[in-house]
Amino acid sequence: MGTEDLDDLIGAVLRGLEVDHHRREPGQFLVTLPGTHRLNTQCWLVVREHTLFVQAFVCRQPDENHEGVYRFLLQRNARLYGVHYALDRIGDIHLVGRVALHAVTAAELDRVLGQILEAADGDFNTLLELGFAASIRREYAWRSERGESLANLRAFERLFD
């Protein structure tokens, strides 16, 4: 399959999945996957010489408990399909993966994007609890003192006991 055909296939699959996406240039798509625990997840699909590279930002470098966060990520990697957690050069957390060009099909793209969404969205609160508990507690105290809404902190109530 040529690059142009692959571009057409990826675009058609993304339209069929009804996910927001933008083709930046030939072979580069920025996909926005809607979430539940986080608003959305931005994911790059980039056609390279032999593979389709996928990358999604998940979370910035943790403020604390690095060992606990990294242990969670390594254990989680064993259960992921087609992608794995990785750190960039400054320590931010991403999901990355590669699909051989000959294996890029509508079903495979759906599986990989589904895995990215499930992991990035499903693991988000756990990553925040593990790596940002002190910041969440400070935010809770600050909002409580001022009578601000605590609605988006309810997922972390066990941290406030």
82-108 pLDDT, tens digit per residue, is 999 999 999 999 999 999 999 999 999
Does residue 144 fall inside a structural domain?
Answer: no
pTM for the full model? Answer: 0.91
Does residue 148 fall inside a structural domain?
Answer: no
Beta-carbon neighbour count of residue 121 at 10 Å?
Answer: 19
Does residue 26 fall inside a structural domain?
Answer: yes
Per-residue pLDDT, 161: 73
Q: What does each C-alpha distance from 26 to 4, 7, 22, 106, 107 come to in angstroms?
A: 8, 7, 11, 18, 21
Does residue 114 fall inside a structural domain?
Answer: yes
Per-residue pLDDT, 91: 96
8-state DSSP, 61: P
Structural domain containing residue 97: 3-133
Using CA atoms, how far apart are residues 29 and 15, in angstroms rounded to an integer?
12
- Contacts of the segment 150-158: beta carbons below 8 A, 24+ positions apart: 155/37, 155/125, 156/125, 156/128, 156/129
Beta-carbon neighbour count of residue 110 at 10 Å?
Answer: 14
Does residue 141 fall inside a structural domain?
Answer: no
Per-residue pLDDT, 160: 87
Per-residue pLDDT, 6: 86
Does residue 97 fall inside a structural domain?
Answer: yes
Per-residue pLDDT, 1: 60
Does residue 145 fall inside a structural domain?
Answer: no
Task: Work out whether the CA dihedral 152, 154, 156, 161 comes out positive or negative.
Answer: positive
In this prediction, the residues of the chain whose per-residue pLDDT falls under 50 are: none
Number of domains in the chain: 1
Per-residue pLDDT, 152: 87
For residue 85, give both structure tokens.
Answer: 């957690």
